[in-house]
Chain A
């Protein structure tokens, strides 16, 4: 297994455009997380999935953000009507189930760097 992959690695878009990012988790992991990180800050939680179910979404996340994991494998994060404040690194992570004795470790992908001009 090659780890968590994300696509694209970089995205430059104009304000007001919609963007979509993809994340492919480690194949045997049921949990998938999205975080956002800006320079000099720690990753900020956005949302997470257990299989195809979206279990939690940050209250800080505006309605312009939506995420899906339709078949419990890859996930997409869409940002509609992008704003300059959306510029950040968007990180995806996956983990094993908690009740299998592990699951504390989250494996992060390389991220998608979004620049909104």
Chain B
């Protein structure tokens, strides 16, 4: 089957670093994406890992280990506006197409 597991919620303080893990069971995911969704808003793309290793985009980094079926999103220098739900999503196809989303991790950033 194809499913992704994430912690349901994480709490951190402003300025801290937080890591959101994602493990998946799949018969063939090609890459892992991360999306952010604020309450009442649309999901917005954060990053995509096609290969093993770390991808860095500003304060956000994402890591993938395909052999371990594991990835994570690292958020540095947390800000209050980072409070949102974060979803990992796997692409079953090798040329994009549909995404299979995890259930999401609700991040609360406290002052």
Contact = CB atoms under 8 A, between A and B. Distances in A.
A35 to B, nearest CB: 8
A41 B95 contact: no
A40 B41 CA distance: 13
Contact of B96 (A31, A91, A107, A110): A31
A104 B95 contact: no
Interface string B65-104: 0000000000000000000000101010001111111111
Contact of A104 (B50, B87, B101, B102): B50
Interface of A: 4, 31, 33, 35, 40-45, 48, 55-56, 91, 93, 95, 98-99, 103-111
Interface of B: 31, 33, 41-45, 48, 50, 87, 89, 91, 95-104
10 contacts: A41-B104, A42-B89, A42-B101, A48-B97, A48-B98, A95-B96, A98-B97, A104-B96, A106-B99, A107-B45
B42 A105 contact: no
The 6 A-B residue pairs whose C-beta atoms are closest, nearest first, are A42-B101, A98-B96, A108-B42, A104-B48, A98-B95, A105-B45
B100 A106 contact: no
A57 B99 CA distance: 12
B103 A104 contact: no
A98 to B, nearest CB: 4
A38 B43 CA distance: 13
Contacts of B96: 31, 95, 98, 103-104
Given A43-B43, A104-B33, A104-B91, A56 B103 contact: no
A104 B31 contact: yes
Nearest to A107: B45
B6 to A, nearest CB: 9
B95 A108 contact: no
